[in-house]
Structure 1
């Protein structure tokens, strides 16, 4: 049984057709725990030890909030492994007539799959989902080394990010 976190209807057919042969983009599935989703994310940042039941609980939490969270993956057809992923979080604002602002987070492409434009396809998919959901803008944070990539994806550098860790 496949459980979707975001609707497959939000995935652009144009992006799907643009992917290299043998890859497809789709919503995150609960079965992605076994398909290497966390291994892929671990190439981005610290993931920690996450048990299958905890992964499934978080998945179901996000699934129940499809109007706020849209996580997508790119799967390689021959290996059935997740090779790229990203998430769109929709923030509800008071400004811009109760507008919606999308935040792109946790973009990662497996180190063995880079150079195939998979990151671009993840970004384009999330941008389209945000547009379809009614976001008036989409923002993301990145390190300086990734600025040229995100500029190629249609983003412009604006302002600064601040962080406070606990």
Structure 2
């Protein structure tokens, strides 16, 4: 009979233990449970400041031939503030090339960075662009769906003349054309510059015709 009287006490003791365990762990408020879990976000990918990826497209020979204060690289978005317009204006009429227009055109060239390759030589000692040039790659059906390079807009600032920079730009662009699979590279020039381009390894083959609008 005494053992039967102990049964309710044992049951109550087990109940109290179970109750203590369930209440010992903190329970998050209902509002907190409803909140979404915040996961660490992936780092934002930086937008490149360069017009194209230079990996494998800048000639080692060209790099070796540059003075220490000069750097050849793809055109940079920041070049607008480094005398880009001043230097390009020494080639031909540039017009009112505002920062907004420059950025818009740069973004377009950057989008097609497997077709257009614009390079710049910067004098890092003064933070100024002193030479520019571009090559674009035209895909053809002829020659087994080959490609042709077209060199355009070669200019060296007056402040950097006599340093062979024009020839360096040409060699750099020819190298890009070759690396991009062009079977030939073309360049249109005035008669007075034929001798210079002959020295750059180019020869006169055809007559260039044009029409202006």
Alignment TM-score, normalising by the size of structure 1: 0.97
Shift of 1:20: 2.1
* 2:131 matches 1:84: yes
1:48-127 mapped onto 2 (5 Å cutoff) = 48-127=95-174
Post-superposition CA distance 1:53-105 (Å, at most 9, x none): 11011001000001110000000011110000000011011101111100000
Shift of 1:2: 4.9
Give the match's secondary structure for 2:170: helix
Structure 2: distance between partners of 1:136 and 1:8: 21
* 2:193 matches 1:146: yes
Post-superposition CA distance 1:11-39 (Å, at most 9, x none): 11221111123101000000111011111
* 2:56 matches 1:7: no
Structure 1: distance between partners of 2:52 and 2:178: 14
Structure 2: distance between partners of 1:22 and 1:2: 23
Q: Which has the larger radius of gyration?
A: 2
* Root-mean-square deviation over aligned CA pairs: 1.0
Unpaired runs of 5+ residues, structure 2, are 1-46
Shift of 1:115: 1.0
Richer in strand (by share): 1
Unpaired runs of 5+ residues, structure 1, are none
Give the match's secondary structure for 2:82: coil
Structure 1: distance between partners of 2:60 and 2:152: 22
Alignment TM-score, normalising by the size of structure 2: 0.76
Give the match's secondary structure for 1:74: strand
Structure 1: distance between partners of 2:170 and 2:90: 17
| Count of equivalent residues | 166
Give the match's secondary structure for 1:120: helix
Structure 1: distance between partners of 2:84 and 2:92: 13
